[in-house]
């Protein structure tokens, strides 16, 4: 104990430039604040680039518009850039901002080696710029995954390697920050849950980046003509990377849900044990469960496919089932403690739906759970992949996870980052209040319509048009398939409006937003409140109803998918 | 508290409702895992599980020998081939065509050897049930994906490529014919 007290004293003497947050009472390291802001702003810039690409892609695949249908080369180029800017640059830059926040702020700690964090930032930026330059100059119309042996210039793979190296440096800074905070005695005991969640994301990121090494380093040498690369081995390793990164997104998104639930209604995890167990399940199992991308591939045995996608993946799904319960439960407990106790759902009705951060996180949770998560499990279950593989149902599914889930959660938390970290009053508050709803409605419509077009009619993904004009054998999709794609087009317009509003609000706030001086009063309508002690008896009837409905819906999605297999020809 | 260090001892017994949800979820997912064995045993539709490594030029030679042996005609310059019932049929993917046009009999089982001569392609057989529902398989150069299939309806079926394979990817189409 004496040594621990000594360490604590030493830590307190080691000062760092910081301020005390007037809302949370936490100490915010000045270097961390700068790095969080710069990484988040960079993320938003790439969101803008990816969003412009999304405009071209969605307006081309909307059959009634067909924007680039006369210029397939440009369509494939923009589709490649869309995937890279959204899935890689926007999300990972924002996650790095999240890591620096989660590593330093909740622990009252300093960010260790800020110069390394800046080096990581420079590498990521260089990788992202090289990637965009290579693709937009027309040298790599290959999609973000560039399946070997598709002709791809070395610069394309090199851009990923440089970007990944930068991300790895950011993970190092995060781990160093957490460990040094402990050594310097900035906190005692276990990590706060938000930091724990981001630590989960960072651990998965390191494993995933190893997958990136196995994928892109051989591919780089292959593209130089120095090495043979097996096409199926490339597919296997890129999905270790590709699916692993989705788990980084998942862990980061869930951490954001817990964070926003705390800031918006004062929700605290009902059981630290259960929530932490769920994060551990992500770490242990998800990187095993990436073969659901390869279920109809050659080169892998059926037993390996089933082993990998059954209990390996489902152990990770169990983690998500736990969060799907524990987050609404935490909100219900906090709301009931405030006196919203009437009926099953007064706590939910009286939740701060006018707070865009809360609305963003709640819609993200609902959309990810009901649309993205259930279809993810259903599409990877048993032989259902035969029905969906490479159809537009797949983009339908992952727009419900990565866009409706992760992106919307990140948009939501931005409405706290702006006043609390950047210390600017949000410009256009009324627009901000409706932004999450417009975006969520648009992406949900897009996702469901695409899944319908793919699952029922086999509409392919990654084609400029489904008219097949000039093809040797004509292809006729039924009118209902065109209707589904037209509906997706309408959803895309709403999503683009919601996305543009977000970028407009965030950028205007950073430029013109009123500065919030240190020690100023509340900046949000909804302030965090400390709930009155942990409940002895857990009274959450509303959550029980919600998760029961969710489970039934989940079973329904599975039954619908399995049932569709009965229309197919016998095959094995 | 999500943003604060938890109290010293947070490893506490779960509430009844938490334990119940954990058990229900775990049980549901275990059933889902177990169901894969059931699908494998009883569903007529299953993921492909047989494949061979092959050099693309070797595959091309075998496929061309197959086409020469069983050719019954041609459409738009693509050979129409009637493989033996219960036998092996080759399907070659290359930029940007499917070769040949297979002519199969309804209710008979065929082993389709699908592979690519250049890059990855996606074999997508459209409208297998009253103009709806597709069947999709990955076609990878260097590997034969063995698809043991029993056509269940008759007609001319459209085949497209649904794995991006190059700038004319959206023009890659073919046919599969099933007769009584």
Q: Could you read off the pLDDT of A156-193 as tens digits, one per residue? A: 999 999 999 999 999 999 999 999 999 988 888 899 99
Give the helix ranges, DSSP H, for A406-531: 408-420, 429-457, 479-512
What is residue A553's predicted lDDT score, i.e. its pLDDT?
97
Residue of higher predicted confidence among B128 and A7: B128
Nearest neighbour of B2 by CB, restricted to A194, A296, A383: A194
Residue A204 has pLDDT above 70, yes or no: yes
Q: For residue range A28-61, list pLDDT tens digits in order.
A: 899 999 999 999 999 999 999 999 999 999 999 9
pLDDT averaged over every residue in chain A: 91
Contact across the interface for A470 and B171, Cβ inside 8 Å: yes
- B114 part of a folded domain: yes
Contact between chains at A473 and B17 (C-beta distance less than 8 A): no
Q: Kindly state whether residues B63 and B23 are assigned to the same domain.
A: no
* Position B5 in a domain: no
Tokens of A267: 């929700």
B6, part of any domain: no
Judge if B20 and B69 occupy the same domain. Answer: no
Q: Judge whether B131 lies within some domain.
A: yes
What is the structure's pLDDT at A2? 40
Banded model confidence at residue A522, pLDDT cuts 50, 70, 90: very low
Q: Is residue B110 part of a domain?
A: yes
Residues 6+ apart with CB under 8 A from A309: A289, A291, A292, A295, A380, A381, B36
Q: Do B38 and B61 have their domain in common?
A: no
The dihedral sign for the CA sequence B32, B34, B36, B41: negative
Q: Average pLDDT, stretch A140-161?
A: 96
Relative to beta strand B78-81, strand B71-75 is antiparallel
The CATH number of the domain holding residue B113 is: 2.60.40.420
Q: Identify all chain B residues contacting A189, using CB atoms and an 8 Å cutoff.
A: 5-8
Please state whether the peptide bond connecting residue B100 to the residue before it is cis, i.e. omega within 30 degrees of 0. Answer: yes
| Amino acid A518: pLDDT | 65
Average pLDDT for residues A92-104, to the nearest whole number? 95
Given this model, what pLDDT does residue B147 score? 98
Closest A-chain CA to B108: A570
Q: Which residue of B has its CA nearest to A299?
A: B51
Q: Is the pLDDT of residue A479 over 90?
A: yes
State yes or no: pLDDT of A9 exceeds 70.
no
Task: Please check whether residues B58 and B129 belong to one and the same domain.
Answer: yes
Mean pLDDT, range A365-375, rounded to an integer: 96
pLDDT at position A8: 46
Q: Taking CB atoms and an 8 Å cutoff, what residues of chain A touch B128?
A: 567-569
Do B100 and B153 fall into the same domain?
A: yes
Mean pLDDT throughout A326-332? 96
Partners of residue B94 in chain A, C-beta under 8 Å = none
* B86 and B103 share one domain: yes
Output b/e per residue, A397-427; b: 16+ Cβ within 10 A: bbbbbbbbbbbbbbbbbbbbbbbbbbbbebb
Domain check: are B73 and B109 in the same one? yes
CA distance A236 to A297: 10
Percentage of chain A lying above the pLDDT 70 cut: 93
User: What is the number of structural domains in chain B?
Assistant: 2
- Read off the pLDDT band of A485 (50, 70, 90): very high
Residue B74: phi and psi, rounded to 5, are -155, 155
CA distances from A246 to A73, A567, B102 (A): 28, 32, 40
Kindly indicate the confidence band of residue A311, based on its pLDDT and cuts at 50, 70 and 90: low
Mean pLDDT is lowest, of A12-16, A248-252, B83-87, for A12-16
Render pLDDT for A489-515 as a digit per residue (tens, 0 to 9). 999 999 999 999 999 999 999 999 999
Contact between chains at B124 and A458 (C-beta distance less than 8 A): yes
Per residue in A231-269, pLDDT (tens digit) is: 999 999 998 888 888 889 999 999 999 999 999 999 989
Mean pLDDT, to the nearest integer, of A62-91?
A: 96
Distance CA A385, CA A383 (A): 5
- The conformation of residue B84, written as its DSSP 8-state character, comes to P
Confidence of residue A525 (pLDDT cuts 50, 70, 90): very low
**Across the interface, do A569 and B46 touch by the CB < 8 Å criterion?**
no
Contact list in A for residue B21 (CB cut-off 8 A) is 321-322, 325, 547
Are residues B32 and B119 located together in one domain of the fold?
no
Nearest chain B Cα distance for residue A536, angstroms: 9
Check CB contact under 8 Å for B163 and A231.
no
In a domain, B84, yes or no: yes
pLDDT value at position B34?
87
Closest CA of chain B from A110, distance in Å: 16
CB neighbours of residue A336 within 10 Å: 19
Band of the pLDDT at A289, cuts 50, 70, 90? low
Residue B69 is part of which domain span?
A: 51-179
Instruction: Tell me how crowded residue A5 is: count the other CB atoms within 10 A of its CB.
Output: 10
Question: Same structural domain for residues B104 and B57?
Answer: yes
Q: Which tokens in the block code for residue B79?
A: 């050979």
Q: Which of B14, B77, B129, B134 to mutate to test the interface with A (most CBs of A within 10 A)?
A: B134
Partner A, chain B 150-169, Cβ-Cβ below 8 Å: 150-153, 158-169
What pLDDT is attached to residue A314?
83
* Residue A22 scores a pLDDT above 80: no
Q: Is B4 domain-assigned?
A: no
Q: What is the dihedral of CA A117, A122, A123, A125, to 10 degrees?
A: 120
Q: CA B140, CA B56: separation in Å to the nearest integer?
A: 10
Q: Give the model's confidence band at A528: pLDDT under 50 very low, under 70 low, under 90 confident, else very high.
A: very low
Answer whether A271 sits within 8 Å of B12, measured CB to CB: yes
Kindly state whether B177 is in contact with chain A, defined as any CB-CB distance less than 8 angstroms.
no
Establish if B96 belongs to a structural domain. yes
Residue whose C-alpha is closest to residue A295's, from B175, B51, B55: B51
User: Quick check: B15 contacting A, CB < 8 Å?
Assistant: yes
Task: Give pLDDT, residue A519.
Answer: 59
> ipTM of this predicted complex?
0.96
pLDDT on residue A532: 44
Q: How high is the pLDDT of residue A306?
A: 85
The reported pLDDT for the residue numbered A212 is 85
Nearest CA in chain A to B149: A571
d(CA A353, CA B166): 46
Average pLDDT for A431-451: 98
Provide the pLDDT confidence category of residue A563 given band limits of 50, 70 and 90: very high
Burial-class residue B118 by CB neighbours within 10 Å (0-12, 13-18, 19+).
middle
- Interface membership of B35 toward A (CB under 8 Å): yes
pLDDT for the residue numbered A388: 96
Q: Which alpha helices (H) appear in A226-382, and where do they start and end?
A: 231-265, 272-285, 302-307, 313-337, 346-349, 356-367, 374-379
Residue of A nearest to B165 (CA): A150
Within this chain, do residues B37 and B88 fall inside the same structural domain, yes or no?
A: no
In a shared domain, residues B114 and B156 = yes
Same domain, B104 and B131: yes
Shortest CA gap A255–chain B (Å): 9
Q: How far apart are CA A15 and CA A29, in angstroms?
A: 10
Give A435 to chain B, closest Cα distance, Å.
26
A positions 46-65 inside 8 Å of B (CB): none
A335 Cα to chain B: minimum distance (Å): 15
Q: Are A483 and A490 in contact (CB under 8 A)?
A: no
């Amino acid at each position: 104990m004496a040594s621990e007290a000594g360490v604590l004293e030493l830590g307190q003497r080691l000062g760092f430039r910081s301020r005390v947050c007037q809302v949370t009472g936490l100490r915010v390291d000045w270097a961390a604040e700068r790095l969080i802001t710069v990484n988040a702003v960079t993320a938003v810039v790439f969101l803008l680039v990816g969003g412009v690409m999304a405009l071209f892609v969605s307006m081309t695949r909307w059959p009634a518009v067909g924007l680039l249908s006369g210029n397939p080369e440009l369509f494939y180029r923009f589709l490649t850039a869309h995937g890279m800017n959204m899935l890689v640059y926007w999300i990972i830059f924002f996650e790095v901002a999240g890591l620096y926040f989660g590593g330093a702020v909740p622990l009252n700690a300093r960010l260790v080696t800020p110069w390394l964090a800046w080096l990581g930032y420079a590498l990521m930026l260089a990788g992202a710029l090289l990637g965009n330059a290579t693709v937009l100059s027309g040298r790599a119309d290959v999609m973000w995954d560039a399946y070997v042996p598709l002709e791809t210039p070395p610069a394309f793979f090199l851009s990923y390697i440089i970007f990944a190296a930068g991300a790895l440096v950011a993970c190092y800074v995060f781990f160093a920050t957490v460990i040094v905070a402990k050594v310097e005695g900035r906190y005692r005991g276990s990590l706060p849950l938000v930091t724990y969640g981001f630590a989960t994301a960072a651990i998965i990121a390191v494993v995933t980046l190893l997958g990136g090494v196995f994928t892109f380093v051989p591919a780089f040498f292959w593209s130089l003509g120095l090495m043979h690369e097996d096409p199926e081995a490339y597919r296997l390793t890129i999905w270790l990377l590709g699916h692993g990164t989705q788990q980084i997104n998942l862990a980061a998104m869930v951490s954001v849900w817990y964070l926003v639930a705390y800031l918006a209604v004062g929700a605290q995890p009902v059981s630290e044990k259960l929530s932490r167990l769920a994060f551990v399940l992500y770490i242990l199992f998800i990187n095993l469960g990436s073969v659901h991308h390869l279920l109809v591939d050659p080169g892998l045995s059926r037993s390996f496919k089933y082993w990998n996608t059954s209990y390996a993946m489902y152990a990770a799904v169990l983690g998500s089932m736990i969060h799907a319960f524990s987050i609404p439960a935490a909100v219900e407990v906090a709301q009931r403690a405030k006196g919203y106790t009437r009926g099953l759902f007064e706590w939910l009705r009286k939740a701060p739906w006018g707070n865009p951060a809360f609305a963003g996180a709640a819609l993200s949770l609902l959309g990810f759970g009901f649309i993205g998560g259930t279809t993810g499990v259903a599409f990877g279950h048993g032989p259902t992949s035969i029905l969906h593989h490479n159809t537009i149902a797949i983009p339908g599914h992952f727009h419900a996870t990565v866009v409706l889930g992760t992106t919307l959660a990140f948009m939501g938390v931005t409405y706290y980052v702006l006043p609390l970290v950047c210390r600017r009053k949000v410009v256009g508050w009324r627009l901000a209040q409706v932004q999450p709803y417009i975006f969520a409605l648009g992406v949900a419509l897009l996702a469901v319509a695409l899944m319908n077009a793919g699952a029922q009619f086999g509409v392919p993904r990654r084609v400029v048009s489904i008219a097949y004009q000039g093809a040797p054998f004509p292809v006729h999709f039924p009118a209902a398939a065109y209707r589904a794609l037209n509906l997706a087009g309408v959803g895309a317009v709403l999503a683009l409006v919601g996305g543009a509003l977000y970028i407009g609000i965030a950028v205007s706030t950073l430029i013109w937003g009123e500065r919030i001086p240190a020690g100023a009063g509340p900046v949000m309508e909804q302030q965090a409140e400390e709930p009155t002690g942990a409940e002895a008896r857990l009274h959450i009837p509303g959550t029980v109803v919600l998760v029961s409905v969710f489970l039934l819906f989940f079973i329904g999605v599975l039954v619908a998918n399995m049932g569709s297999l009965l229309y197919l020809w016998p095959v094995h | 508290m999500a943003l604060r260090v938890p109290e010293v001892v947070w490893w506490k017994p779960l509430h009844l409702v938490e334990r119940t949800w954990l058990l229900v979820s775990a049980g549901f997912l275990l059933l889902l895992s177990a169901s894969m064995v059931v699908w494998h045993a009883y569903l007529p539709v299953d993921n492909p599980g047989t494949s061979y490594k092959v050099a693309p030029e070797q595959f091309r030679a075998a496929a061309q020998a197959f086409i020469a042996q069983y050719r019954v005609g041609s459409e738009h310059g693509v050979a129409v081939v009637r493989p033996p019932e219960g036998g092996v049929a080759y399907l070659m993917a290359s930029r940007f065509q499917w070769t040949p046009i297979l002519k199969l009999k309804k209710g008979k089982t065929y082993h389709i050897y699908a592979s690519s001569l250049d890059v990855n392609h996606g074999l997508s057989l459209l409208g297998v049930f009253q103009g709806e529902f597709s069947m999709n398989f990955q076609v990878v150069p260097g590997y034969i994906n063995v698809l043991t299939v029993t056509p269940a309806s008759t007609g001319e079926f459209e085949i497209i490529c649904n794995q991006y394979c190059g700038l004319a990817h959206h023009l890659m189409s073919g046919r599969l014919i099933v007769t009584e």
